[in-house]
Chain A
């Protein structure tokens, strides 16, 4: 029910194999896991007149906040999903500021396997660093946090807007209340709209509402550089492709920088507000989608090749 905000492929080496699962999350706070095999079968069985319906294999519901006298809060929406195929865990960045981890293999669970608590406001994005068992989340509170998925604790709290980082290993526990000591400092910042890792999982790009993208180096454990998309662009989607940073936000432009932070290109695109960017592994084509019934496709060089319209 409601908008679908995120769609990821979990395991199975992408769509090529039918073994994987497609996971979707949206405004209703549910995370649905669909077997790709089911979807392909339905697509094969589809006739012109009738559209086959596919039922999800599992549905995980984000827990509601409880209040005194049994009152329940609103169902927090799932804004982003991150998949850790190696451990079989799906991370759901929820609207209540908690990142829930769901065991994909255990569909009957009512409660999440674990919760990463610490952000003081809505989570906007999540990325999984599978090799290091780490999770990066970005939040409305203006910080990005790097979590150790094993201990469910934040190892770093990054403010991408100021390009500063603080170690969270000190006083905070994973169960700390929403308004803790450093939230005042975080409040002054722009929200973190998107995070992305490169293929080798050595770099993390954090896009934030003020129109900047901050590059985080896991090797140095520090902010490496910060690029600006110009005023007025709240970065909502970012990708790292080799030596390029591709980002877009609520202006109809697609930005490209090199890792040194130099602007390579600024291309107009159809969506007025871009919510998703993806790049192909082969050919380095970039697809851009957003608040528009069309998907723009850009070449590796940054020129627009095609526009796919949703009829």
Chain B
């Protein structure tokens, strides 16, 4: 400021000097005629020059001084700036250091170190805690040192435990060595006891072998086997369970299956790898290659599929080499597992050497080849004909798949249940199985199946044996040979003249007997066939066709009400000829004996489905249709002579009544426990009914003689009273 003032002062001075000089110049100019003034002015002007010179010098000196001052100040400024830069650099460095410290992360963060919590530390080391005071850093340091000490302690403990473990392991190893050796010793012991076992009839070794074989069984058969074996153990029952078939084959199959599984697993891994590669490619390409993807996938699926079923895909009936055999009484039931259908089939055959093998059994004596038929198992439970596979999946896999009915092994539902295979019934589209279906299945699975099945098998075999003995007696026309004969008070007078089987051959049965109504119709047709009037037969057949379509519908209705249709095979038909006993008084008719023909159908479900009798009169002379002219000229004598013959038309009411009596009422008249002998009861009842009809009068004629006050006939159909059965 001083410099600036000084400079401005000098400037003012200079300006002042210059102003005075201009005045002097003006005076010089104005004093052109006046010398004095001119001189004075010149003197002044000279003085003024001097003054200007001095002032100029002072100004220059001032400038010089200012410059010097400025240079000095600049130097000073530069110095100061250098210092400032140093300080700033220092500050930045320190800040960076601070940030680095703040951002520091340890290789082990607090969580992984698992430092004990502050509270724990306070509890475990109270003294150190007090020492540390309130400084969190100090506390932390204390905590760390405490932790370190603790860890060291634990390491020592671990070492101790390791040592103990080693000693224990050594002990175990030595004991195991002993046990391994024990097995061999025991085997030797067992081998040495074999003669003893044989002597005492203890099947220990056999059982063991069987168990080994059981391990090779497919799961469903294993279930069957274990359940049956368990039932045998539990109830000490009189049946035997065996495993039949080639163990070697089963082992081979198992090995093959294991190999296939391994292969499958490997393939799946490869497939997964291939898939990732494919995906990568697909991404890299960035194009849509859906079709290719699909074909590749399907190919892979096909390959694996082929791999699984490469061996046996061709034949749906390929069976597992091992079978479970149930020997009960005189029959042996064989359960077979079919891989491809995933069903268990059962069949029955007479037991080989049954009598000798089961001498210890209580009920074995009743057995024998003749009680065992193919159809023994048909409809063992209502509606279980075994005619088709219960596994719906078979049908889906091969469209329109039908189980081959000519096979002896049949996939009965009870066999599946025994094997733990529960196939749900198909549910109509759009109706999900409700909760009640689930509870039904649950309930279904809690049934005592093995006992039920065994009881059913026993009952079926007992009734079949009873049926066979009755049939044998009937074939001999030996009424007294029937079990029922012992209970009769009075033997029927009518005779059984013949009894023979007229069951059509197997092929025919399958063709005609697809379902129940058809079988019934066949029976009706037989009856109609006896009519010689062509028009009648044609008319009947026309009616029959309509009826057949109706019966299909009605059959469906019946099945809704748990009606179980008869089986498709195994119905045997017999033709019985009964000669009615003539009353002693009616000597004049003795020349024409009346023979009643009964066609008896015995179903395999006997006795649940009782035998049915269809009656007709034996026609000796085929009657000619009466020509109209003959009718014109007929008179009493013609009618009377014709009347001597008993013809089926005459007796149709009577025959229908007897049929009703035998087929419907006799079942209700049975004494308890007589179910198995129902065929015998029915035959006896038939004879009794024929007796009663013959007693009253000639067939279709009026009463031969008055029989007291008692009413002999009742109702429009002229029903006769029948004596009580027993």
Residues of chain A at the chain B interface (Cβ within 8 Å): 3, 5-6, 27, 74, 76-77, 79, 95-96, 120-122, 124, 140, 142, 162-163, 178-179, 183, 187-191, 209-212, 226-228, 230-234, 236, 250-252, 262-263, 268, 270, 272-273, 275, 291, 307, 309
Determine whether the beta carbon of B639 is less than 8 Å from that of A77. Answer: no
Q: B270 in the interface, Cβ–Cβ < 8 Å?
A: no
Contact of A122 with B700 in the complex, beta carbons under 8 Å: no
Partner of A262, one of B632, B647, B715: B632
A187 near B706 with CB under 8 A, answer yes
* A268-B535, A273-B652, A273-B656 known; A79 vs B716 contact (CB < 8 Å): yes
| B residues with CB within 8 A of A | 533, 535-536, 539-540, 543, 550, 623, 626, 628, 631-632, 634, 636, 638-639, 642-643, 645, 647-650, 652-653, 656, 700-703, 705-706, 709, 711-718
Closest Cβ of chain B: how far from A44's Cβ, in Å?
28
Given contacts A27-B715, A140-B713, A187-B705, A230 and B631 within 8 Å (CB-CB): yes
Min CB distance, B186 to chain A, in Å? Answer: 76
Bound state CA distance, A285 and B540, in angstroms? 22
Q: What CA separation (Å) do A163 and B637 show in the bound complex?
A: 13
Per the bound structure, the CA–CA distance linking A169 and B623 in Å amounts to: 43
What distance in Å separates the Cβ of B410 from its nearest Cβ neighbour in chain A? Answer: 36
Asked whether A187 lies within 8 Å of B711 as measured between CB atoms, the reply is no
Q: How far in angstroms is the closest Cβ of chain B from A277? A: 13
Across the A-B interface, the 7 shortest Cβ-Cβ residue pairs = A232-B649, A231-B642, A251-B649, A232-B647, A268-B536, A263-B631, A5-B716
A25 to chain B, nearest CB (A): 10
**List of A residues within 8 angstroms of B634 by Cβ:** 228
Report yes or no: B652 in contact with A272, Cβ–Cβ below 8 A. Answer: yes
Cβ contacts A to B, 14 pairs, < 8 Å: A5-B716, A76-B711, A95-B711, A95-B713, A122-B718, A189-B702, A209-B700, A230-B626, A231-B650, A232-B700, A251-B649, A272-B652, A273-B652, A273-B656
A212 to B709, CA, bound (A): 28
Q: What CA separation (Å) do A273 and B660 show in the bound complex?
A: 15
Give the Cβ gap from B657 to chain A, nearest Cβ, in Å: 10
Smallest Cβ distance from B665 to chain A, in angstroms? 14
Known: A142-B702, A187-B706, A190-B701. Contact between A211 and B535, CB under 8 A? no
Q: Is the CB of B536 within 8 A of A252?
A: yes
Query: Do A232 and B650 have beta carbons less than 8 Å apart?
Result: yes
* A187 in contact with B709 (CB, 8 Å): no
Judging by beta carbons under 8 Å apart, are A77 and B715 in contact?
Answer: yes
Q: Do residues A272 and B643 form an inter-chain contact, with CB atoms below 8 A?
A: no
Give the CA-CA distance A266 to B461 in the complex, in Å.
53
Contact A231 B647 (CB under 8 A): yes
Q: Assess A122 versus B656: contact at CB under 8 Å? Given A189-B702, A236-B716.
A: no
In the assembled complex, the Cα of A291 lies from the Cα of B659 at a distance in Å of 13
Q: Which residue of A lies closest to B640 (CB)?
A: A210
Q: Cβ of A234: which chain B residues have Cβ within 8 Å of it? A: 650, 653, 700
Residues of B contacting A95 in the complex (Cβ-Cβ under 8 angstroms):
711, 713-715
**What residues on B are CB-neighbors of A190 within 8 Å?**
701-702
- Chain B residues with CB below 8 A from A120, complex form: 706
Complexed CA–CA distance, A5 and B718 (Å): 11
- Taking CB as reference atom, which chain A residue is nearest B628? A263
By a CB distance below 8 angstroms, the chain B residues around A262 are 632
A211 B639 Cβ-Cβ under 8 A = yes
Q: Are B701 and A140 in contact (CB under 8 A)?
A: no
A-B contact count (CB 8 A): 119
Q: In the assembly, what is the distance between CA of A272 and CA of B717, in Å? A: 12
Q: Tell me the bound Cα distance from A187 to B639 in angstroms.
A: 18
B399 to chain A, nearest CB (A): 36
Min C-beta distance of A165 to chain B, whole Å: 15
B656: chain A residues within 8 A (beta carbon): 272-273, 291
Query: Which residue of chain A is the closest to B700 with respect to CB atoms?
Result: A234
**Contact of A270 with B714 in the complex, beta carbons under 8 Å:** no
Tell me the complex Cα distance, A231–B543, Å: 26
User: Given contacts A162-B636, A187-B706, A268-B539, could you give 11 more A-B pairs where the C-beta distance is less than 8 Å?
Assistant: A5-B716, A79-B716, A95-B711, A122-B714, A210-B639, A211-B643, A234-B653, A272-B656, A273-B652, A275-B717, A291-B717
Identity of the chain A residue whose Cβ is nearest the Cβ of B705 in the assembled complex: A187
Q: Is there contact, CB below 8 Å, between A5 and B715?
A: yes
Q: Is the Cβ of A250 less than 8 Å from the Cβ of B652?
A: yes
Q: How far is the CA of A234 from the CA of B651 in the complex (A)?
A: 9
A275 surroundings in chain B (CB, below 8 A): 716-717
B contact residues around A140 at 8 Å (CB): 702-703, 712-713, 718
Q: Are A27 and B714 in contact (CB under 8 A)?
A: yes
Distance of A211 Cα from B645 Cα, bound (Å): 13
Please tell me if the beta carbons of A233 and B649 are within 8 angstroms of each other in the complex: yes
Once bound together, how far apart are the Cα atoms of A68 and B700, in whole Å? 34
B711 contacts across to A, CB distance below 8 A: 74, 76, 95-96, 121-122
Do residues A232 and B648 form an inter-chain contact, with CB atoms below 8 A? Answer: yes
Residues of A within 8 A of B649 (CB): 232-233, 250-251
Q: How far is the CA of A268 from the CA of B636 in the complex (A)?
A: 25
Which residues of chain B are near A187, meaning CB under 8 Å?
702-703, 705-706
Most buried by B among A79, A211, A231: A231
Give the residue name and chain of the A residue nearest to B639 (CB): A228
- Would you give the shortest CB distance from B575 to chain A, in whole angstroms? 21
Shortest beta-carbon distance from A137 to chain B in Å: 14
- In the assembled complex, the CB of A253 is this many whole angstroms from the nearest CB of chain B, namely 8
In the bound complex, how far is the Cα of B543 from the Cα of A233, in angstroms? Answer: 22
Write out the residue numbers on chain A whose beta carbons fall within 8 Å of the beta carbon of B715.
3, 5, 27, 77, 79, 95
Q: Roughly how many angstroms separate A179 CA and B708 CA in the complex, as a whole number?
A: 9
Closest to A120 in B: B706
For the complex, give the distance between the alpha carbons of A27 and B716 in Å: 9
Are A251 and B652 also in contact (CB < 8 A) when A5-B715, A268-B539 are? yes
CB of A273 within 8 A of CB of B626, answer no
Nearest CB in chain A: distance from B198 CB, A:
70
| Contact in complex: B636, A250 (CB < 8 Å) | no
Q: Which of B533, B652, B714 contacts A77 (CB 8 A)?
A: B714
Whether the pair A212, B702 counts as a contact (CB closer than 8 A) is no
Cα(A30)–Cα(B718), bound, Å: 18
* Contact pick for A121, options B636, B639, B713, B717, CB 8 Å: B713
Q: Which residues on A sit within 8 Å (CB–CB) of B647?
A: 231-232
B636: chain A residues within 8 A (beta carbon): 162-163, 226
Q: Are A209 and B717 in contact (CB under 8 A)?
A: no
Q: Within 8 Å CB of B650, what residues of A?
A: 231-232, 234, 250
